[in-house]
């Protein structure tokens, strides 16, 4: 959606509220008391939904991403628009500056709630067909108290700064379908489908088996670089093709995994020079959701619909657990 279209469609807070209420009625509202899915909408001084069976009332924001939020509907809608209107992301400080708001923390919580909710929405997706799987390392910051007191050489770690740089491990899974007829001047002979990126504590065999379980269909054909952590993949999947890949052949055998890794790193660098490791999954959730919805025409209604169906009233400590 273009900026001029957004301003024309949502000129006020009331227009955003009515649009959000219409989406909730369209997608269905479940009564928390009796479980009824039929509701009436009362558009008065305090807009609310009323259950047809038991008469229970709830606000338009109740049981959604905006649950108990003091931010206006238009502030949330502006955040939705900025996320869906550009390929790059933006920081909460930039959104606070553009809106002219006084406090930073509510905007910060708003952005992270959206990113966690996008990850919850993408958890339902299962990759199938030909799937590329590889591991990547992202430069992040980590608190020193989360590390052992001594390093691998037995020397005591310095405690001068509370943070240090580290490499966070991420498992990247991308659908890669062969093209029936390659276009003229088009180097890649495959086309990318959906994508998944999961932060993991290590790349051991047991960890990777848990990551692919429920995220990749067992009838898929998996392509990888044949590392020792993938030893169980021939037993898990219908077909497994894993060989040591020369550096010059990476773009032909595992093209889209490395393209997505490079693009996601560029998106994160556009927001911060280096993010903390506990927030990496949230930013990857945003990148994956955008990538998987890149061909959707009405992407704004898509993100607003996802926010209607997910209740995510999480503070910082709970958001970390969901993102992990």
* CA–CA separation, 80 and 300 (whole Å): 7
User: Is residue 82 a contact partner of residue 303, using CB atoms and an 8 Å limit?
Assistant: no
What pLDDT is stored for residue 286 in this prediction? 93
pLDDT at site 11:
93
Q: At what angle do helices 92-99 and 73-85 cross, to 10 degrees?
A: 130
Residues with Cβ within 8 Å of 119's Cβ and at least 6 positions away in sequence, in order, are 281, 282, 284, 285, 288, 289, 322, 323
Exposure b/e, 17-42, CB count within 10 A at least 16 = b: bbbbbebbeeeebebeeeeeeebeee
pLDDT at residue 75 in the model: 93
CA angle at 154 for the pair 149 and 155, rounded to the nearest 5°: 70
Residue 317 CA, chain-centre distance (Å), reads 18
What's this model's pTM, rounded to 2 decimal places?
Answer: 0.86
The whole-angstrom separation of Cα 319 and Cα 19 is 27
Residues contacting residue 131 through CB under 8 Å, at least 6 positions apart: 173, 174, 175, 176, 216, 220, 221, 222, 223
Structural tokens at position 99: 């809106």
Domain ranges of the chain: 3-121, 125-296
Tokens of 14: 């009331």
- Note the helical H segments in the chain: 3-9, 13-27, 73-85, 92-99, 105-122, 205-212, 233-236, 250-253, 255-271, 280-292, 299-309, 316-323
User: What 3-state DSSP class applies to 148?
Assistant: coil
Please report, in tens digits, the pLDDT of each residue of the chain (324 residues total). Answer: 888 999 999 999 999 999 999 999 888 888 888 888 888 898 877 889 999 888 889 999 988 889 888 899 999 999 999 888 888 888 889 889 988 888 999 999 999 999 999 999 999 899 999 999 999 999 998 776 555 566 666 666 555 556 678 899 999 999 988 777 666 655 667 788 999 999 999 999 999 999 999 899 999 999 998 888 898 999 999 999 888 777 777 777 788 898 999 999 999 988 887 888 889 999 999 999 999 999 888 899 899 988 988 875 444 444 444 444
> 239, 133 in Cβ contact below 8 A?
no
Structure tokens at 94: 């930039």
Return phi, psi of residue 211, to 5°. Answer: -70, -45
49 vs 66: CA distance, rounded Å: 15
For 154, residues 6+ apart whose C-beta sits below 8 A from its C-beta are: none
Rounded Cα distance, 274 and 286, in Å? 17
- What is the model's pLDDT at position 207? 93
Q: Which two tokens stand for residue 303?
A: 């993100």
One CATH from 2.10.25, 2.60.40, 3.30.420, 3.30.230 for 125-296: 3.30.420
The residue behind tokens 């990551």 is 211
């Amino acid at each position: 959606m273009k900026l001029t279209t957004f301003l024309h469609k949502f000129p006020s807070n009331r227009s955003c509220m009515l649009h959000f209420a219409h989406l909730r009625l369209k997608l269905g509202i479940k009564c928390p008391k009796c479980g009824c899915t039929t509701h009436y909408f009362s558009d008065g001084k305090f807009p609310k939904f009323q259950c047809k069976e038991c008469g229970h009332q709830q606000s338009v924001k109740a049981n959604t991403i905006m649950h108990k939020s003091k931010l206006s509907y238009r502030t949330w809608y502006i955040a939705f628009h900025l996320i869906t209107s550009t390929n790059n992301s933006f920081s909460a400080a930039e959104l606070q500056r553009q809106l002219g708001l006084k406090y930073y923390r509510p905007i910060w919580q708003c952005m992270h709630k959206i990113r966690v909710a996008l990850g919850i929405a993408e958890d339902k997706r299962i990759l199938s067909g030909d799937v590329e799987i590889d591991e990547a390392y992202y430069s992040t910051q980590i608190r020193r108290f989360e590390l052992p007191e001594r390093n691998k050489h037995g020397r005591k770690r310095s405690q001068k700064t509370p943070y240090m740089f580290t490499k966070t491990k991420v498992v990247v899974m991308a659908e890669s379908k062969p093209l029936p007829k390659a276009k003229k001047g088009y180097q890649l002979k495959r086309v990318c489908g959906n994508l998944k990126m999961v932060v993991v504590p290590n790349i051991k065999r047991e960890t990777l088996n848990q990551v692919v379980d429920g995220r990749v269909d067992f009838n898929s054909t998996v392509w990888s670089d044949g590392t020792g952590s993938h030893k169980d993949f021939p037993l898990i999947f219908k077909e497994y093709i894993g060989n040591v890949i020369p550096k010059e052949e990476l773009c032909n055998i595992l093209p889209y995994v490395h393209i997505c890794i490079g693009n996601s790193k560029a998106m994160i660098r556009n927001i911060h020079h280096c993010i903390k490791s506990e927030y990496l999954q949230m930013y990857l959730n945003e990148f994956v959701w955008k990538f998987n919805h890149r061909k959707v025409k009405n992407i704004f209604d898509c993100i607003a619909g996802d926010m209607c169906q997910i209740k995510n009233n999480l503070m910082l400590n709970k958001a970390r657990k969901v993102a992990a």
